[in-house]
Amino acid sequence: MAATPSPRKRGSSAVRSKTLDFRVGGNDARHVPRKRFGQHFLVDQHYIERIVGALGAQPGDRLVEIGPGLGALTRPLLDRVTHADVVEIDRDLARKLASEFTADHLSVHVADALTFDFRSLGSDLRIVGNLPYYISSPLLFHLAQFEANLRDVTVMLQKEVVDRMIAPPATPEYGRLSVMLQVLFRIERLFNVPPGAFRPAPKVGSAVARLTPLREERPHLADERLFAQIVAAAFGQRRKTLRNALKTLATEVQLESVGIESGARGETLAVDDFVRLANSLAVGSNAE
Ligand code: SAM
């Protein structure tokens, strides 16, 4: 169903001058993009099809789209699946989408994805979305908590964030985000997307990434909180040596006992090194 702009917006020239006319995929919605919600809408059919194709959704898949916006991805995705859930913070956009589809085809959750309990939607979830860039890192950390409930995550992000997600050790992009995601997921960059594919165009380039839970290949973590603490401390001040950065968590002897040079910097440690260190400290503290 086409959404009708409110009479107030129609009549206001101040608003109309900023209103963009999006007729994406048959949607007849007029909407003023809200900067505070990071709204950059996909309008290039080529990239819409590439994202939908990369997902390869099947009818029974449990699809969850974060930030459906004006529905550029939602519509072609709903052609492929019997039902999808979407999580959208913008009430106006959520209402437009809810009016276009029946509830048995689309469940619209008006919510902040940063606090949304994805577990409530079940398991084997396939997350998809052109994510709002202003919260991309916290949103990835939030999604990581639900790793056991996810089949995969296919998301568009700022290119620079994807660089950080897939970065190997000892590179400038390697940091907390790389380690905390790589310990749980296999991460692939699928393709880049230029700013011209969006309205309004963002100032930065974008890329689509896929995260697949490692499952049985996932390294065992004796204490996940301790692991997260160590990683955060190691990258908190990148210029510090591990001896100093981890002062409150590990002694030099403890570092060296698992083969980690205390004079090295956090960015030189591989994910496995962080796992080994965290597990040895967890075992040590349990034995006390
Ligand atoms: N999927 C649409 C597309 O590709 O054209 C819109 C993408 S736009 C970059 C990001 C979308 O996420 C917007 O619809 C915005 O309102 C929504 N959004 C922003 N912050 C959000 C949050 N915290 N929780 C849920 N949705 C959010």
Question: Degrees (nearest 5) of the Cα angle 83, 213, 249?
Answer: 135
In angstroms, rounded to a whole number, what is the distance separating the alpha carbons of residues 63 and 76? Answer: 12
**139 Cβ closer than 6 Å to some ligand 1 atom:** no
Give the mutation target among 85, 88, 143 for probing the ligand 1 site: most ligand atoms within 8 A of CB: 88
Axis-axis angle for helices 271-287, 224-236 (nearest 10): 120
In angstroms, rounded to a whole number, what is the distance separating the alpha carbons of residues 29 and 96? Answer: 8
Q: 224-287, what's its fold?
A: Helicase, Ruva Protein; domain 3 (1.10.8)
Q: What is the pLDDT of residue 287?
A: 54
Q: What is the pLDDT of residue 3?
A: 34
CATH superfamily of 13-217: Vaccinia Virus protein VP39 (3.40.50.150)
Query: For ligand 1, what atom is nearest to the CA of residue 74?
Result: 1
Q: What is the pLDDT of residue 238?
A: 80
What does the pLDDT profile of the chain (288 residues) look like in tens digits?
A: 333 333 333 333 333 334 544 444 444 458 999 999 999 999 999 999 999 999 999 999 999 999 999 999 999 999 999 999 999 999 999 999 999 999 999 999 999 999 999 999 999 999 999 999 999 999 999 999 999 999 999 999 999 999 999 999 999 999 999 999 999 999 999 999 999 999 999 999 999 999 999 999 999 999 999 999 999 999 998 889 999 999 999 999 999 999 999 999 999 999 999 999 999 999 766 555
The helix/strand count (H/E) of the chain reads as: 12, 11
Give the mutation target among 39, 93, 159, 204 for probing the ligand 1 site: most ligand atoms within 8 A of CB: 39
Q: What is the pLDDT of residue 28?
A: 47
Q: What is the pLDDT of residue 239?
A: 84
Task: Tell me the CA–centroid distance for residue 190 and ligand 1, in Å.
Answer: 20
Q: What is the pLDDT of residue 12?
A: 34
**42 Cβ closer than 6 Å to some ligand 1 atom:** yes
- Facing residues of 206 across strands? 158, 193
Q: What is the pLDDT of residue 237?
A: 84
**5 Cβ closer than 6 Å to some ligand 1 atom:** no
Instruction: Count how many Cα atoms sit within 13 Å of the Cα of residue 69 in the half-sphere of its side chain.
Output: 28
Q: What is the pLDDT of residue 23?
A: 46
pLDDT tens profile 182-236: 999 999 999 999 999 999 999 999 999 999 999 999 999 999 999 999 999 999 9
What does DSSP assign to residue 211? E
Name the segment(s) of the chain with CATH classification 3.40.50.150: 13-217
Helical segments of 117-241, H only: 136-144, 159-166, 176-182, 224-236
Q: What is the pLDDT of residue 285?
A: 66
Q: What is the pLDDT of residue 18?
A: 45
Name the segment(s) of the chain with CATH classification 1.10.8.100: 224-287
